[in-house]
Amino acid sequence: MNLQAHKNHILENGFTTINSIFSDKELEKIDEVLKNIDTSNENFRKSEDLFAIRQFLKELPEIKDLLFNDNIKAIINEIFGEKYVAVKSIYFDKPEKSNWYVAYHQDLTISVDKKMDLTGFGPWTTKQNQFAVQPPLNILENIYTIRIHLDDTDENNGALKVVPKSHSKGIYRAETIDWNVETEEICNVEKGGVMIMKPLILHGSNRTTNGKKRRVIHIEFSDMELPEELQWSEKN
């Protein structure tokens, strides 16, 4: 696992994939926790196409030790930096017959503990007492995202597609993508592998066509303190 090469690839292209981060035994333990989820929780989003848990590490604190194994800790320390901590987490379960399609976009918001008037922060959204805001660009540029794959994922069951290098172009509206200049890459990831990305990279995913599910744990990391009394809502 040449982490320096992966770090260089992320800085230049905005993403990388690393397989074999979790053993079969580790994945079985994670599966066991997920099987016992109380799906009636009002914070959980349910539809025919998607089951999602926001503030995942808060909702299932017992899973944290299973996710933060030695490989993940090495990635955080050596690629991100020793002071990086988890600040946002979501679990996505895209079922076998899912038609869930995600258009190209950047991840432009962070999760915080309250809404307050701060220069450079906005617009704001509030869902079920969860506050999200678009912060200044330097905060977004500082974040790394790890996407832990619990199933084999390719272009037939919604693997992420990305526009390499788009993370270094600031706020980049998807409708302005010039495909004469930009390219698209599909990020296939094996079960037990991870995709790491900068949230400003343009990314999206297609509908599932092969009848295979796709479960992903999405965790964002930062080493920055927010201004004034504002706090990350999920700082772990």
CATH number at residue 147: 2.60.120.620
In tens, the pLDDT along 152-163 reads 999 888 899 999
Task: Tell me which residue range forms the domain holding 196.
Answer: 3-222
0.85 exceeded by pTM: yes
**Residue 100 pLDDT exceeds 70:** no
Whole-angstrom Cα distance, residue 178 to residue 3? 32
**68 domain residue, yes or no:** yes
Residue 230 lies in a domain: no
Backbone φ, ψ for residue 175 (5° rounding): -70, -10
* 208 located within any domain: yes
Q: Is 64 contained in some domain?
A: yes
Measure the CA–CA gap between 72 and 194, rounded to whole angstroms: 9
Indicate if the pLDDT at residue 40 is higher than 90: no
- Residue 11 confidence (pLDDT) above 90: yes
Q: What are phi and psi of 168, to 5 degrees?
A: -100, 15
Q: Is residue 209 situated within a structural domain?
A: yes
Residue 236 counted as domain residue: no
Does any domain span residue 92? Answer: yes
Burial class (CB within 10 angstroms; exposed 0-12, middle 13-18, buried 19+) of 54? buried
Give a yes or no: residue 18 inside a domain.
yes
Residue 98's pLDDT band, with cuts at 50, 70 and 90, is low
Q: Specify the number of domains making up the chain.
A: 1
pLDDT in tens, 108-149: 999 999 999 999 999 999 977 789 999 999 999 999 999 999
